[in-house]
């Protein structure tokens, strides 16, 4: 079963989420939402996954039930998968100087709204860290998205000194 790792702001920890293969196969539109119940107090994290199971964003929601007996945790939430209790991802000073810039004509590209928004911030001056903050994404998620865009030949990276 594929596993997706994400950071939950409510738990202040990285969590592992098992995504059943049949869930992925049923999707016709990407990114698709996948919700996961976990934590104490119990809450829901909804992650938005693309066709390669790369997270394109997430949101955390409270659960409002008439009583706690109505809330059941996902089976994967009781697994022995280790979590890290780091409040923010480890980001070195070198990675804070990475500046992405658009290197391709975007007119004929098929882009999601999120990708288009991210590329609009890739002006050759704004750092990856600043782009992540402006988009409200965790640094590592923004980095994964930009690496995907780099593989597609849309962006390149420079270092700002």
Confidence at 96, pLDDT banded by 50, 70, 90: low
DSSP character for 121? H
Strands 3-8 and 13-18: antiparallel
Average pLDDT in the 116-139 region?
87
Q: Report pTM.
A: 0.44
pLDDT value for 121: 92
Instruction: Give the pLDDT score at 71.
Output: 47
Rounded average pLDDT over 94-114: 77
CATH code for the part of the protein at 95-159? 1.10.10.10
Which residue ranges make up each domain of the chain?
A: 3-78, 95-159
pLDDT at 91 over 70: no
More confident residue, 7 or 140: 7
The token duo for 156 is: 């390149």
Report the DSSP beta bridge partners of residue 45: 36, 60
Average pLDDT score over the chain: 76
């Amino acid at each position: 079963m594929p596993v997706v790792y994400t950071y939950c702001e409510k738990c202040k920890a990285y969590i592992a989420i098992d995504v059943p293969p049949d869930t992925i196969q049923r999707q016709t539109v990407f990114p698709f939402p996948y919700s996961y119940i976990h934590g104490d107090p119990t809450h829901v994290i909804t992650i938005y996954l693309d066709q390669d199971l790369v997270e394109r964003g997430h949101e955390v929601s409270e659960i409002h039930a008439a009583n706690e007996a109505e809330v059941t945790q996902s089976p994967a939430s009781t697994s022995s998968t280790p979590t890290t209790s780091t409040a923010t991802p480890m980001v070195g000073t070198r990675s804070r100087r990475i500046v992405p810039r658009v290197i391709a004509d975007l007119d004929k590209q098929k882009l999601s709204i999120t990708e288009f928004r991210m590329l609009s911030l890739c002006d050759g001056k704004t750092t990856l860290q600043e782009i992540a903050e402006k988009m409200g994404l965790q640094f590592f998620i923004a980095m994964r998205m930009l690496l995907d865009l780099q593989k597609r030949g849309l962006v390149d990276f420079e270092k700002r000194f």
